[in-house]
Structure 1
Amino acid sequence: MNVPPNAPTAALAWSRPLIRALIALNLLYAAGVLLMFVLSLIPGTILWDALGMLFPAEHRGRIVFGLRTIMIVGIAAAGVVDRVLRQLLAIVDTVRAGDPFVAGNARRLEAIAWWVLLGEGLRLLIGAIALATTSSMPELDLDLHFSAAPWLAVLLLFVLARVFAEGARMRSDLEGTV
């Protein structure tokens, strides 16, 4: 089958609407967490009862504080995800236009790497908050583990950003010699 070199693939055709949908879902997530945070400020146990969460009286204050803090960090994490998705959308647009090796994409990939690094930091912060909040509750089993995958992804993104920057530079040099 002969396919023109710049013909969009099925994955490329679906990428823009998929990323847009993910942006919308992420916004809904952030709104949901914000709503939970606001409901958690209402005196009484309306939110905790709705979620089926029963806290021992001696730990209630610390657990509620920890959960509220995690909600705030979760909203910040949604902002990080939004930045990553919007940078990725801009990269997809340049690929669809047939011009991916531009300096702007190198900057976008580097920005994505920094955002992913920040997101992983926020994930670790949430784990630390959860651990500190529940440390005196042995009956609660938290699955807090380290994963090398996000850190490798950050490294890969920085390398890929450099590859794109070099590709854009070489392209500019080539255009200058023609």
Structure 2
Amino acid sequence: MQDRFLGIASGLLRFANWLNWTSAIGFAGAIVLSFVFGDAIAAHLALKYHGRHVPETVAIVRLLGVLSIVGAVAVRQLFTRLIAIVETVRTGDPFVVANADRLQRIGWALFAIQILDLCVGGIVLVLDRLGVDHATWVPGFTGWIGVVMIFVLARVFRLGAAMRDDLAMTV
């Protein structure tokens, strides 16, 4: 009998992966539109901020769009590897070297996301100094713990798979 939770998890991960790519396409479209409607955007910002820092603000918004696309690539790595791990659990053989490799790739994806988060924090500081409205930002320390945890789990999976293979050779 199939594990119902794993089926639901797989479906949710596939939907989240689709949503991630939809968002990335939206960010790419927004970057293109920022050039198409650049004069209108600049006029709006000039009016709102009394003509100060308009080119810098437009450039920063475009940069945030690019960083969002880079983030979507990292998130794709996370989702696709997690989907593959769920499939090995569904088939009853999760403790394999391939899953250790997948967890390590997930760890690198999470690391990239944390670096991007720090970049956003730097951008928020710049926007603050320019006097431009922005969302708040707080560093996410739990994300860094997650990065370390995933790399440790990747090592546990690698050692577990090796131990299982050694045991299979002795039987």
Q: Say yes or no: does 1:107 pair with 2:101.
A: yes
Q: Which runs of 4+ in 1 moved over 2 A?
A: 7-10, 46-49, 53-56, 139-142
In structure 2, distance between residues paired with 1:56 and 1:102: 60
In structure 1, distance between residues paired with 2:167 and 2:17: 37
The residue aligned with 1:40 is 34
Which deviations, in whole Å up to 9, do the C-alpha atoms of 1:48-78 show, x marking residues without a partner? 96xxx94441121111111111111111101
SS state of the match for residue 137, structure 2?
coil
The residue aligned with 2:121 is 127
| Cα distance, 1:127 vs structure 2 | 1.9
Give the aligned residue type for 1:104: A
Identity in percent: 34
TM-score in terms of structure 1 length: 0.87
Q: CA RMSD in A?
A: 2.0
Query: 1:62, 1:133 within 8 Å by CA — same for their partners in 2?
Result: no
The residue aligned with 2:6 is 12
Structure 2 gaps of 5+ residues are none
Which deviations, in whole Å up to 9, do the C-alpha atoms of 1:65-110 show, x marking residues without a partner? 1111111111110111011100101101111110000000001101
The residue aligned with 1:96 is 90
Normalized per residue, which structure has more helix? 2
Give the aligned residue type for 2:121: G
Tell me: CA distance 1:56–1:105, structure 2 relative to 1, closer, same or farther (3 Å).
farther
The residue aligned with 2:25 is 31
In structure 2, distance between residues paired with 1:17 and 1:167: 28
The residue aligned with 1:168 is 161
* Count of aligned positions: 168
Query: 1:34, 1:75 within 8 Å by CA — same for their partners in 2?
Result: yes
TM-score in terms of structure 2 length: 0.90
In structure 2, distance between residues paired with 1:146 and 1:110: 23
The residue aligned with 1:147 is 140
SS state of the match for residue 144, structure 1?
coil
| Cα distance, 1:47 vs structure 2 | 9.4
Which deviations, in whole Å up to 9, do the C-alpha atoms of 1:125-157 show, x marking residues without a partner? 1221232133131x7464221221100001110
